[in-house]
Amino acid sequence: MPNAGAIQGSSVRVLIYLLFAIQLVSMGAMEMSGPFWPVHLRGLTDSAGFFSFASIAVYVGPMLGIMLTSAFWGRIGDRYGHKLMMIRALAGLSLTQLGLAFASDIWVILVLRFLQGVFAGYIAPAQAYGVSIEAPTRRARLFAILQISTNVGSLLGAVVGGLILDYATFFWINLIASALCAVCTVIAAVNLPDVPPVKKTAPAHPDPSTPQRTQAWRHSALLPLLLVMGILLLARMLPQTAFPLYVSSIFDVSNSVVGLCYGLLALGFILCATTWSRYFEHRTPQQSLQRIRYVVIGCIALTALAGVTHHAGVFIVVYFLWGVLLGATTPVLMALISKTVDGSQQGYVLGIAQGTAQFASISGICTGGLLSQVYGLQYTYLYVCLAYGVAWVALVLLRPGPLAAGVKTQQ
């Protein structure tokens, strides 16, 4: 942990809590408008076709922007410092939200949403900054804490946004979000200490014909880990589009129960992610991967039960337990991905991981929506089971040897 020498003990804990708070507020600010974009866009066009396109593009645009630029910003962070990239991202969120508050043309809104992904992308630099100050053994806990902050922020942001919309207009949602992100920018700039970039270390036996970054990909478990994480996220997002229609049609329940089911998935993750991270902290990479296989088997069983049950109570319990298991997937895999490289490439690799996550999420949303349209809602969770089966096979085939070597060099 070469950059954390000057930040020790309780100071690190305080900084991690500050990162948690900044991410919770900024992500919550973004999610204040999240559920209500279709409502806002519906009033800006009379074309049903254009409205359908815009309703998808307004969500996919930021994800696409992050996917295309996260690795680039990560390399800049590796060279000039990740705190600078956090400030850049928060400022980008504030400015684009301010623009969205005043935008009344759908094409302008879609462009601004895409630019929001291009210039914001806060999560990856926050993770890289956290890695630079946290001990390697606590890395899974770090990623769990930061992902919990995102989930809590999403839940609270949606509630707050709804309250604002009940008493004011959509303009005020975006304006307040811009102000909150601006406050987070100032807090990050003033209170987070600068952590100098880690100098690159030359490999023991370099191949002069191969760039160092290419060697890192060739001789590590990075690509297989990214593949596994991507498949797991794709599986998670497959029912996203069909979820409200599936629950309301299969169980004939109210919208409040639909919202409860959806929220319990996040609640299960929030309650158990740090517990899972502590469980995995002192495991070897091979032990971690073996235990994640069992977690995936549990996800297969739960989503199969979700697909066959016609009892709303069973479905509600399943969704909560599914969220509990999800706490043992992405944070742990992100920690393993982070450990495949040294400190000089954390921004780049975590940027790649964030881009992979966005690509997998987009693929899952689009694939799930297409399958439900073509084959019907009743098979929604069968597709999720099959995707988890593919992830389990990938985990069985993954060889952790190169990863273990990478972890050893960092310790």
pLDDT, tens digit (0-9, with 9 covering 90-100), for 137-185: 788 888 888 888 888 888 888 788 888 888 888 899 999 999 999 999 9
Q: Is 134 exposed, middle or buried (0-12, 13-18, 19+ CB in 10 A)?
A: buried
| Tally of residues, the chain | 411
Tokens of 401: 């040897």
Residue 406 structural domain: 214-411
Does residue 257 share a domain with residue 190?
A: no
Contact 150, 23 (CB under 8 A): yes
In whole angstroms, give the CA distance from residue 56 to residue 284.
41
Residues 219, 91 within the same domain: no
Say if residue 184 is in the same domain as residue 144: yes
- Residue 251 belongs to a domain: yes
**Is 219 part of a structural domain of the chain?**
yes
Nearest 5°: the CA angle 156, 157, 158 is: 95
Q: What integer pLDDT is reported at residue 323 of this predicted model?
A: 92
Asked whether residue 331 falls in the same domain as residue 254, the answer is yes
Query: Looking at the structure, do residues 149 and 227 belong to the same domain, yes or no?
Result: no
> In Å, what is the CA distance from 83 to each residue of 70, 136, 191, 199, 248?
15, 19, 11, 16, 45
Tell me, rounded to whole angstroms, the distance of Cα 193 from its chain centroid: 25
pLDDT digits (tens, 9 = 90+) for 320-350: 999 999 999 988 998 888 888 776 777 888 8
Query: 91: Cβ–Cβ under 8 A, 6 or more apart, which residues?
Result: 181, 182, 185
Provide the pLDDT for residue 266. 84
> How many C-beta atoms surround the C-beta of residue 41 within 10 A?
21
* 290 within some domain: yes
> What pTM, to 2 d.p., does this model score?
0.78
Q: Assess whether 358 and 330 both reside in one domain.
A: yes
Instruction: Examine the domain organization and report whether 160 and 292 are in the same domain.
Output: no
Instruction: Over range 62-71, report the average pLDDT.
Output: 88
Instruction: Centre a 10 Å sphere on the Cβ of residue 225 and count the other Cβ atoms it contains.
Output: 26
The answer to whether residues 103 and 228 belong to one domain is: no
Same domain for 387 and 272? yes
User: Residue 409 — very low, low, confident or very high, per pLDDT cuts 50/70/90?
Assistant: very low
One domain, residues 42 and 85: yes
Say how far apart CA 232 and CA 296 lie, in whole Å: 9
Residue 123 belongs to some domain of the structure: yes
Greatest mean pLDDT among 130-139, 267-276, 393-402: 267-276
Residue 2, pLDDT score = 44
Single out the residue in 166, 194, 222 at which a domain terminates: 194
Is 201 among the domain residues?
Answer: no
User: Is residue 184 domain-shared with residue 295, that is, in the same domain?
Assistant: no
Which of 194, 226, 245 terminates a domain? The answer is: 194
Q: Find where tokens 């296989």 sit.
A: 293
Share of the chain above pLDDT 70, in %: 88
Q: Give the whole-angstrom CA distance, residue 155 versus residue 319.
A: 16
pLDDT of the residue at 185: 95
pLDDT at 105: 92
The domain tally of the chain equals 2
In a domain, 132, yes or no: yes
pLDDT for the residue 393: 94
Alpha-carbon separation of residue 133 from 90, 110, 126, 319, 402 (angstroms): 20, 37, 11, 35, 25
> Average pLDDT of 17-41?
87
What's the pLDDT band for 5 if we cut at 50, 70, 90? very low
CA distance linking residue 266 with residue 323, whole number of Å: 6
Residue 32 within a domain: yes
Mean pLDDT is lowest, of 122-126, 260-264, 311-315, for 260-264
Q: In this structure, are 228 and 171 located in the same domain?
A: no
Rounded distance between C-alpha atoms, residue 331 and residue 354, angstroms: 12
How confident is the model over 278-307, as a mean pLDDT?
92
CATH assignment at residue 46 = 1.20.1250.20
> What are 333's two structure tokens?
């895999």
Residues 339-379: tens digit of each pLDDT: 887 767 778 888 888 888 889 988 998 888 888 888 888 89
Question: Strand, helix or coil at 381?
Answer: helix
Confidence label for 189 from pLDDT (cuts 50, 70 and 90): very high
Least confident of 75-84, 106-115, 201-210, 345-354: 201-210
Cβ(373)–Cβ(385) below 8 Å:
no
Does residue 203 lie in a domain region?
no
